[in-house]
Amino acid sequence: MIATIQYNSRKIQIDVSKPIDISIAIDMSKTNVNAWYVDDPKIFPEASDGEIIKVSEGAVVNFNNIHFNPHSHITHTECVGHITNEVHSVNKNLKHYFFVAEVVTVAPEKKGDDFFISTKQLKTALRNKKRDAIVIRTLPNLLEKKSKRYSNTNPPFLLEEAAEYLKEKGIKHLLIDLPSVDKEKDEGKLAFHNAFWNTSGEIRMDATITEFIYVPNSIVDGEYLLNLMIAPFENDATPSKPILYKIIQ
């Protein structure tokens, strides 16, 4: 079904019957994605007075608890509250949910033991395009990204100068298929996070970073309409379900 959306001064057409889900779920039936040195997530039935509240155990409903960390176990969207003394809520600061996004594929550069994404690579990918969001797919793009154990693996990251470039380009929403935009162990500098949110000046409260996405290889680079759906947690980060729609015109 084709829908026409008025986006700023532009009319955009999308096929709403063809959503592209780029989220990674918590899935207890397989090895779950994991980072930041914590235990795996848990989904388990509540127990009351010795009764396990689960239909297969004789209860009338399934009534599960979920224990997880959004930064470690699932696609999540975070705001500047992730790195500030005051814990700002992404649920309060993200007020719009549709954005024109550019999907780009990048093979991180290597220097020593590090792999990183540079400003030059993003400039090549974006050129003179005007976008609100960027969706970064890194190479190699293997299915194991959906179940990888990232702790102590020194994953690729983005350089601080790349954050400055994206900020200058007006990119407010960055989505990436890595556990973090910063180096796993960087002595607490969090250079990209700080530069992207402009913590040394007027903070970009409405800018977000979404980590742990997965963009299938079948999805071509280019322009999409992004629906950035988040769960309503008053927290620095919350589970999210970003959906892409190919723009027809």
pLDDT at residue 89, as a whole number: 98
Mean pLDDT value across the chain? 97
Dump pLDDT digits (tens) for 54-105: 999 999 999 999 999 999 999 999 999 999 999 999 999 999 999 999 999 9
What is the β-pairing status of strands 42-45 and 51-52?
Answer: unpaired
- Comparing C-alpha atoms, which of 77, 209, 214 is closest to residue 146? 214
In our burial notation (b when 16+ CB lie closer than 10 A, e otherwise), range 67-97 reads ebebbbbbbbbbbbbbbeeeebbbbebbeee
In sequence order, which residues have a C-beta less than 8 Å from that of residue 216 and are 6 or more positions away?
20, 22
pLDDT tens digit sequence for 154-185:
999 999 999 999 999 999 999 999 999 999 99
- Backbone dihedral angles phi then psi of residue 148, each to the nearest 5 degrees: -70, 145
Cis preceding-peptide flag for 140 (omega within 30 of 0)? yes
Could you give all domains of the chain from N- to C-terminal order, each with its CATH number? 2-28+70-246 (3.50.30.50)
Neighbours of 229 (CB within 10 A): 13
pLDDT at 151 over 80: yes
The average pLDDT across 142-154 equals: 97
Q: What is the reported pLDDT for 116?
A: 98
Strands 133-138 and 173-176: parallel
pLDDT value of position 41: 98
The H-assigned helical ranges of the chain are: 70-73, 90-93, 119-126, 160-168, 191-197
- Please give the pLDDT value at position 249: 74
Q: Which residues pair with 71 in a beta bridge?
A: none
Provide the pLDDT for residue 111: 97
Angle at 143 between CA 31 and CA 160, to 5 degrees: 100
Q: With pLDDT > 90 as the criterion, what percentage of the chain qualifies? A: 95
For 128, other C-beta atoms within 10 Å of its C-beta total: 6
Place of tokens 């990183």: 116
